[in-house]
Structure 1
Amino acid sequence: MKNIAILIWSLGGGGAEKVAGQLSIQLEKFYNVILMVLNPEINVYESGGKIISIAPTAGNTIEENILREKEKNKIDVAISFLDDMNDLNIRTRRKELVIISQHSTLSAVPMFDMDRLSGKWKNYKFADYIVTVSEGIKYDLIHSLDMGEVPVSAIYNYADTDIIRRKMEESPESDIAEFIKDSKVILNVGRLAPQKNQIGLIDQFGKLAEKHREVKLVIVGSGELHEKILEHIQERKLQDKVFLLPYCANPFPYYKMADVFAFSSDFEGLGNVLLEAMAVGLPIVSTDCFAGPRELLDDEWQEYSCVREYKICKRGILVEKIQTDHDDYVKALERLLYDKKLRAEIAENERIYMDEYSNEQKTRQWIDIIENACIRNTFVPSKASLEDIPDTNVIIYGAGKIGKDVYEQLWKHKNIIGFAVSDSDGNPGTINGIKVDVIEHYIEYTETATVVLGLRDIFHEEIYRKLKELGFQKIVRSF
């Protein structure tokens, strides 16, 4: 049975953290699962497998602790979530497969984060596989980064429809019955952060409330903008119209109380709360933020087809991103609140979609990626760091640009005895005074030399098989 590591900062709240916990539960049925987190005591979400701490200790960094735990637990496959942990997963790889999960649209990340993260994203091409949570993120990732030959697949997040519907019938943690009495209720659930744009939503709601006195807005969430949002509600004199509730483990009773779900994010991965709203048949108005909403609310995803004004979709209404100079979001809310027939059609389509939404299918997709990557890795050598390569007898396979780049990284530190090529056609003879020859002329070094592949990934499997047939023992990919 394979040993699978899942690396995440914590299980203390957030979409990626929730997916990591759910994935560990599903994979535990088939593998030995080890969850590596900074603080094992923070567990908002259920999880499977064994939880261990990788928090920095006296004399040991997080990176060193990850490396130690990978070796100690003989990890075969390491799956990581979120940018910083993805980078650590790649940097601590040895012989295990590295699969990274991308939950955000790279091109939409604010500039102040872009500067910090761009260096980490460049390492993504050294992963064995990348899983995104939506087709939009997959498209954006491929077109934003040089991914080399790394395969990328989209797997939607887990959603426990039956559990959501059951929890919806429980009593809410806060009694808002009096606040929403005789009202049409708009619900927003999410972290209070700039990305989620609750301030823009409040502004749009304020315009709606001027026309319709019976509307109320309930926001459920905690986060860095809590005080700023409270101040904004007061500035807009909407204290009797907007109710701000803290994060709670079971927000689903509030879904039952609402008439419309309002999603206001500027950018997203998928949008777990959209799946939750659809599970209970709560009609949705959502900003069209490239990845996530447009895939869930409609049956087709098209790149660069951003909605202008608003679009009525099969499972909700998509609206252009919230701006102060237009009222499209207000019009969409108004349409869904007061068009009973449209609201019923969308609610029914949402329920049908979620009835067919299969967690088992998501798990099979993950298992297929793990097993296929393992099969592929059987015939492709692992990537090596500089320290992994012995100082003596190094052969660089490839005399083109990549082979020369490998040489530039190695020549000061290793004893390079030659460049190897598949045939003599176009052979330059030497590179920087080092001979270039067909690989068969290096047979005497099969047991003593390390062959570093200095060519495109697409050729690795073919050359690796050839080297193994010739008897070479130590073969690695360039780092």
Structure 2
Amino acid sequence: MKKIAFLLPDFQEGGMPKVASNIMSGLNSDYIQYLILLDGESEVRYVHNSEILPVCPKGQSKLQKIKVFLKRIKIVKQLKKKHNFDVVVSFGVAANIVNIVSKCNDSTICTEHNVKSIENKTWGFFGKVYDVLIKLLYSKPNHLVAISNVMKEDFIQNYNIKGNIDVIYNPHKVNEIIEHSNELLTNEEEELFRNKITLVNVGRLTYAKGHWHLIRALADLKKEIPNIQLLILGQGEMEGDLRKLTEDLKVQDSVHFLGFQSNPYKFIKQSDVFVMSSLYEGFPNVLIESLACETPIISTDCKSGPREIIDKEKNIHKKISEYEIHDYGILTPKFDGKVTLNNSDLTENEKQLKLAILELMQDKELYDKIKSNCRSKSFEYDVQNMVKKYEKIFD
């Protein structure tokens, strides 16, 4: 039996814990599993079948965070010596650096879940520190896993990473998603969808998700489709600004903020279109979940992931100025990142998002064609297919 430890900042809501949970549940019985959580006080929300090894609480000030970071390296190194792990696989830059620096006799696997040259710019001082550490350390693990080809290129071109970089898309429990999507709605939830054309978005209410673009496009769409509405599932620091924007645009009755939902899939399945307005992504799990729910997708052509999912040719270097129709959904030009929280005229790329939604809603043949392709595409990312690739690296 091999001992394998999964090292994460926490196991709360978010993409990385979900991916780790899916890998853990999909591994064969040859592994004894452990879960090392850097934030030793964080709540555990995802399924796992492992012994939990907490490290220490996180710091608040810059100085505290640096002290805690160094303390975490020391504690993780002690855990590695005590348990003699065969493999330690880490998720995200903070956990990856701890994993690399604390290496003992374990095989070190680091996984990254966002395009670092973009994401680190949003993190201020610590983003600059991480840029330096990535250049210094990311060639050292036994394997570095990127979850998209764009991310792999980013490591090579912007960080001069040498060594083993594997591309493994995020694993998904497709049958489980389908089962949850068929859960019955409450009477109140049913009423929400009655006589409405529904757009849905699932994601944290943060800058990276670009929700204001979607709300502004929705307000303009209502001139042509009066019964259209938008459901937003998620929480985050921009919620207040986004709610005020709906009021300023007079669409507060057509944009519903539903917060965190333990089962988002039943809302996705009942919606007409899943629309993703992100400025950047790592690999957007929610697009695979939408495919499994048989809900057609419209997504910005942002870095990284959407094109690799929607475009059969996976032409990751292509740039577009108009929306583009594919077998598995529609791609629209990426946004420039400017936050616009007012009723000014739509930007050209917001107009393209609006036109893409209009076309999909008005062309039934196109809509049915894309819808019919969704589910079979989602099974390409099923946990059984992806975990085999991880097991090959672990072995």
Question: 3-state DSSP class of the match of 2:154?
Answer: helix
Q: 1:231 aligns with which of 244, 262, 277?
A: 244
Specify the alignment match of 1:84 in structure 2. Answer: 94
Q: 1:95 aligns with which of 105, 123, 131?
A: 105
Most deviating of 120-129 and 349-358? 349-358
What's the CA shift for 1:120? 2.4
Evaluate the alpha carbon distance shift between residue 116 and residue 238 of structure 1 in structure 2; reply closer, same or farther with a 3 A threshold: farther
* Maintained 8 Å contact 1:189/1:221: yes
Q: Does 1:343 align with 2:367?
A: yes
In the alignment, the residues of structure 2 paired with residue 274 and residue 83 of structure 1 have an alpha-carbon distance, to the nearest angstrom, of 23
* Maintained 8 Å contact 2:289/2:378: no
* Maintained 8 Å contact 2:234/2:258: yes
In the alignment, the residues of structure 1 paired with residue 141 and residue 381 of structure 2 have an alpha-carbon distance, to the nearest angstrom, of 29
Amino acid at match of 2:8: I
Q: 1:360 aligns with which of 380, 384, 391?
A: 384
Specify the alignment match of 1:69 in structure 2. Answer: 79
In the alignment, the residues of structure 1 paired with residue 177 and residue 237 of structure 2 have an alpha-carbon distance, to the nearest angstrom, of 27
What's the CA shift for 1:15? 0.6
What's the CA shift for 1:119? 2.0
In the alignment, the residues of structure 2 paired with residue 355 and residue 152 of structure 1 have an alpha-carbon distance, to the nearest angstrom, of 24
Evaluate the alpha carbon distance shift between residue 271 and residue 258 of structure 1 in structure 2; reply closer, same or farther with a 3 A threshold: same
Question: 3-state DSSP class of the match of 1:210?
Answer: coil
TM-score of the aligned structures, taking structure 2 as reference length: 0.89
Amino acid at match of 1:369: I
Evaluate the alpha carbon distance shift between residue 43 and residue 173 of structure 1 in structure 2; reply closer, same or farther with a 3 A threshold: farther
Question: 3-state DSSP class of the match of 1:33?
Answer: strand
Specify the alignment match of 2:8 in structure 1. Answer: 8
Specify the alignment match of 1:325 in structure 2. Answer: 347
Q: Sequence identity, in percent?
A: 28
Amino acid at match of 1:65: I
* Maintained 8 Å contact 1:24/1:35: no
Q: 1:132 aligns with which of 146, 159, 177?
A: 146
Evaluate the alpha carbon distance shift between residue 356 and residue 303 of structure 1 in structure 2; reply closer, same or farther with a 3 A threshold: closer
Specify the alignment match of 2:339 in structure 1. Answer: none
Amino acid at match of 1:55: C
In the alignment, the residues of structure 1 paired with residue 305 and residue 78 of structure 2 have an alpha-carbon distance, to the nearest angstrom, of 36
* Maintained 8 Å contact 2:199/2:228: yes
* Maintained 8 Å contact 1:285/1:332: yes
Deviations 1:261-286 (A, max 9, x none): 10111111111100000001100000
In the alignment, the residues of structure 2 paired with residue 336 and residue 173 of structure 1 have an alpha-carbon distance, to the nearest angstrom, of 28
Equivalent residues, number: 370
Amino acid at match of 1:342: L
Evaluate the alpha carbon distance shift between residue 50 and residue 303 of structure 1 in structure 2; reply closer, same or farther with a 3 A threshold: same
Q: 2:116 aligns with which of 106, 112, 116?
A: 106
In the alignment, the residues of structure 1 paired with residue 89 and residue 379 of structure 2 have an alpha-carbon distance, to the nearest angstrom, of 29
* Maintained 8 Å contact 1:218/1:245: yes
* Maintained 8 Å contact 1:261/1:285: yes
Deviations 1:83-115 (A, max 9, x none): 111111111112222110011012322524242
In the alignment, the residues of structure 2 paired with residue 174 and residue 147 of structure 1 have an alpha-carbon distance, to the nearest angstrom, of 54
Amino acid at match of 1:297: I
Q: Name the larger-Rg structure.
A: 1
More relative contact order in 1 or in 2 (CA 8 Å, sep 6+)?
2
What's the CA shift for 1:174? 8.9
Question: 3-state DSSP class of the match of 2:223?
Answer: helix
Q: 1:117 aligns with which of 127, 130, 136?
A: 130
Amino acid at match of 1:166: E
In the alignment, the residues of structure 1 paired with residue 79 and residue 57 of structure 2 have an alpha-carbon distance, to the nearest angstrom, of 13
* Maintained 8 Å contact 1:198/1:264: yes
In the alignment, the residues of structure 2 paired with residue 358 and residue 26 of structure 1 have an alpha-carbon distance, to the nearest angstrom, of 10
Unmatched 5+ stretches in structure 1 = 372-479
Specify the alignment match of 2:265 in structure 1. Answer: 252
Specify the alignment match of 2:23 in structure 1. Answer: 23
In the alignment, the residues of structure 2 paired with residue 273 and residue 172 of structure 1 have an alpha-carbon distance, to the nearest angstrom, of 20
Evaluate the alpha carbon distance shift between residue 15 and residue 243 of structure 1 in structure 2; reply closer, same or farther with a 3 A threshold: same
Question: Counterparts in 2 of 1:164-175, with a 5 A limit?
Answer: 164-172=177-185, 175=188
Q: 2:159 aligns with which of 145, 163, 183?
A: 145
What's the CA shift for 1:56? 4.7
Amino acid at match of 1:11: F
Specify the alignment match of 1:219 in structure 2. Answer: 232
Specify the alignment match of 1:46 in structure 2. Answer: 47
In the alignment, the residues of structure 2 paired with residue 174 and residue 44 of structure 1 have an alpha-carbon distance, to the nearest angstrom, of 27
Amino acid at match of 2:347: D
Unmatched 5+ stretches in structure 2 = 59-66, 337-345
Question: Counterparts in 2 of 1:258-337, with a 5 A limit?
Answer: 258-322=271-335, 324-326=346-348, 327-337=351-361
Specify the alignment match of 2:394 in structure 1. Answer: 370
Q: Does 1:157 align with 2:170?
A: yes
In the alignment, the residues of structure 2 paired with residue 357 and residue 197 of structure 1 have an alpha-carbon distance, to the nearest angstrom, of 26
What's the CA shift for 1:322? 3.4
* Maintained 8 Å contact 2:333/2:352: yes
* Maintained 8 Å contact 1:106/1:144: no
In the alignment, the residues of structure 2 paired with residue 355 and residue 325 of structure 1 have an alpha-carbon distance, to the nearest angstrom, of 36
In the alignment, the residues of structure 1 paired with residue 117 and residue 173 of structure 2 have an alpha-carbon distance, to the nearest angstrom, of 30
Evaluate the alpha carbon distance shift between residue 296 and residue 334 of structure 1 in structure 2; reply closer, same or farther with a 3 A threshold: same
* Maintained 8 Å contact 1:201/1:322: no
In the alignment, the residues of structure 2 paired with residue 320 and residue 241 of structure 1 have an alpha-carbon distance, to the nearest angstrom, of 25
Amino acid at match of 1:141: F
